[in-house]
Copies of this chain bind each other. A is one copy, B any other.
Amino acid sequence: MLESLLRPQSVAVLGASRSPGKVGHEVLANLQAGGFEGAIYAVNPGADEILGLPCYPDMSSLPEPVDLCLVALPVSKVEAAVKEALAARVGSMVILTAGFKEVGEDGADLEARIAGLCQQHRVRLMGPNSVGLINAHHKLNATFAPVMPPVGGISVISQSGALCVAILDWAASQGIGLGMTVSFGNKADLNEVDFLEALARDDETRVIAGYLESIDDGERFLAAAQEAADIKPVVILKVGVTAAGAKAASSHTGSLAGADIAYWAAFKRAGVIRAETFESLFDYAQVFAMQPLPRGRRLAVITNAGGPGIMAADAAEGSGLELVTPDAATQEALRAVLPSAASVANPIDVIGDADPDRYMAAFETIQTSACSDAILVIATPQNMTRPVELAGRLAQAHEGKKPLVAAFLGGDRVEEARRLLTSLNIPNYSSPERAVRALRGMVDYATWRHRPPRVVMRFPVNRRRVERVIRWHRRMKLRQIGEVEGKEILRAYDFTIPMGRLVETSSQAVEAANQIGYPVVLKIVSPDIIHKSDVGGVRLSLATAEQVRDAFDLLMLRSTRSLPEARVRGVYVEAMGKRGREVILGMTRDPQFGPMLMFGLGGIFVEVMKDVTFHLAPITADEAMQMLKATRSYSLLTGVRGELAVDLEAIAGGLQRISQLSTDYPEIVELDLNPFIVGQVGGESYVADARMTLGPQEEE
């Protein structure tokens, strides 16, 4: 995929320059310095020769149509140059020039025109406002960045060019190997999705590390990210997560940041490891590129200093890894090779005077023992430590069956050892906490990779019934679907709905109540009254005909008094359901990622404690159950303080049904079952109130 861009056989630099420091010079120099093995063409009408290469006056003079055309011209000349390049039948295009969408409307128009031109010619465009791209395995350095890191398995995609430059510099200084480095700039055409797809298929890429400020097409992103994550780890730092950050992001890129919750939900679904900070992006990327995935969450720590061992233990517990005490045989084996003052529990403290021999004896015991899934070796530079020797021997002895990471703490005395570890594919972290967090990322990813097949249950639905309701609302130009018709739709999805009838007179109300059976509930029905309780529009537990008659008259009186403008359609007479636990099932449609399901316990749990969980639809039975378990108030559902356990399956089933409803009917943009009343296992669960919102009607 994107062969002419990522693995070109020939490259032209449009705007090649003789002046060092200029983009058109640096990119040409980098192409040469990188050892690119295809043809390199410099294009500049004002020069004969640049950096030893003959210079062509324009694209049409080139001896062949080139695969990759890099544009390094001032912004005013870019449009004409693109036309020229397209006419010369280039394979793909990268615009390095800045000053387009990011500087205002004129720039955005120009950018759109250029993208349109490329599209007409079916030429893929990267940029503008890009630093270029590197494919180290192809010896292609088509950037104007001033450094080149070693070749390796981490491929970077970045929406920020400046950050790309800092990453390249950092990777070079640390000896971290990179494969592809892609600065995709303003995304006039190619974006994160295209590169996720391409890098997923790139065999040299072992892990994809991405820096994103915005995601353009949520659905495509989800699909591409998941497909990539099924092949190799994808770690993404998505910034603009807070209100302040989103404001900064939008002023920077001109793109609106999506809601943070939706990103979390999307990344979780797609198996993307989300980096919380700039540092953690590469903390994760390194361990994924260098180490095998763990089979479980049991961590063994070997250390020559108690303190950092405790830090590791704290961090492990805080992030859900387990420090399991080794079994008796392993402890005995450790005791045989360690001095009596050493600790053979976990962390295994080989104590301060440990030399590499002692470290290795402990390491080999732990490596072969079955009581851990990952190993962290901590070393502080004591007199006997000999960090370089230790680093080399660890790398040599490591069989690669479980991940091994290191935290060699200190400064100059461990510096060489750290570099050696990195070059031997053992990631080193400057604190125990960071090492543990990286391993935690591996565990998360491994868990996702071994997830059970996602089977989304399909429920039989009476679609005619649903469509009738929607059609009626469309005809009436109503976007709010109130309780009566909302319940009609939910009944079509086989939710339990108490028996009920819409009536217009008090006699009808009594007749309905007689038919339904007492006690009943009466609720005002009006498209203009959404929160019925707030205006006194609900009367509960009516046990006699007289009470029903009184309630009807009161409801009508009160609603006309408090909201004289409201169009009242009547009163809904409904069987009074049994008491149970109130929960809320909801759905909102994220502009990027589509229907997002919500679950929370009713009332204060949602409104005050914000104790809610989200999941993208469609959802499986297992995922629905996970949503319940992820709330802090979960234990209230399973029976705590003498209360009885409620029917969890009924809630999970309800979530799956609204998941299906949301995917079946994209025109429903929001829905709320509030409350959904859950009974005990074997008892009744039913929808007590519901409302839905339709999206804006399309023009006819």
Instruction: List chain A positions with a Cβ less than 8 A from chain B.
Output: 21, 26, 98-99, 102-103, 144, 146-147, 158-163, 165-167, 169-174, 211, 213, 239-245, 247-249, 251-253, 277-279, 304-311, 313-318, 322-323, 340-341, 343, 345-347, 349, 351-352, 380-384, 409-415, 430-434, 534, 603-604, 607-611, 632-633, 635-636, 640-642
Min CB–CB distance A650 → chain B (angstroms): 20
| Copies of this chain, tallied across the complex | 2
Q: How far is the CA of A318 from the CA of B304 in the complex (A)?
A: 36
Question: A279–B434 contact, CB under 8 A?
Answer: yes
Q: Shortest CB–CB separation between residue A557 and chain B, in angstroms?
A: 21
Bound together, the chains give a CA A323 to CA B251 distance in angstroms of: 14
Residue ID in chain B nearest A409 by CB atoms: B166
Closest to A211 in B: B307
19 more contacts with CB within 8 A, not counting A162-B304, A169-B410, A244-B317, are A98-B351, A159-B307, A165-B382, A170-B411, A172-B412, A173-B412, A213-B306, A241-B318, A242-B313, A242-B318, A244-B314, A248-B313, A253-B306, A278-B409, A279-B430, A279-B431, A279-B433, A607-B641, A608-B632
Decide: A242 and B311 in contact? CB cutoff 8 A: no
A607–B363 alpha-carbon span in the complex (Å): 44
Establish whether residues A161 and B431, one from each chain, have CB atoms under 8 Å apart when the complex forms: no
Contact residues in B for A278 (Cβ distance below 8 Å): 308, 311, 409, 431-433
| Chain B residues closer than 8 Å to A607, beta-carbon distance | 640-641
Bound complex: CA of A213 vs CA of B306, how far in Å? 10
> Could you give 15 example pairs across A and B, Cβ below 8 Å?
A147-B413, A159-B307, A162-B305, A163-B308, A170-B409, A170-B411, A213-B306, A239-B307, A241-B314, A242-B318, A248-B323, A252-B306, A278-B308, A278-B311, A608-B641
Chain B residue numbers with a CB within 8 Å of A158 are 307
Q: Contact: B323 with A244, CB < 8 Å?
A: yes
**How many angstroms between the C-alpha atoms of A162 and B303 in the bound complex?**
10
Residue of B at shortest CB range from A144? B383
Is B641 touching A352 in the complex (CB atoms < 8 A)?
A: no
A317 to B147, CA, bound (A): 34
A235 to B: closest C-beta gap in Å:
15
Q: How far is the CA of A162 from the CA of B170 in the complex (A)?
A: 29
Least Cβ–Cβ distance between A240 and chain B, in angstroms? 5
Q: Once the chains bind, are B306 and A160 in contact (CB under 8 Å)?
A: yes
Q: With A410-B170, A413-B146, A632-B608 given, is the CB distance from A310 to B380 under 8 Å?
A: no
Most B C-beta atoms less than 10 A away, residue of A102, A174, A213, A604 = A604
Min CB distance, A687 to chain B, in Å? 21
Residue pair B409, A147 in contact (C-beta under 8 Å): no
Distance to closest chain B CB from A146 (angstroms): 7
Instruction: Quote the shortest CB–CB distance from A390 to chain B (angstroms).
Output: 14
CB-based nearest B residue for A276 = B433
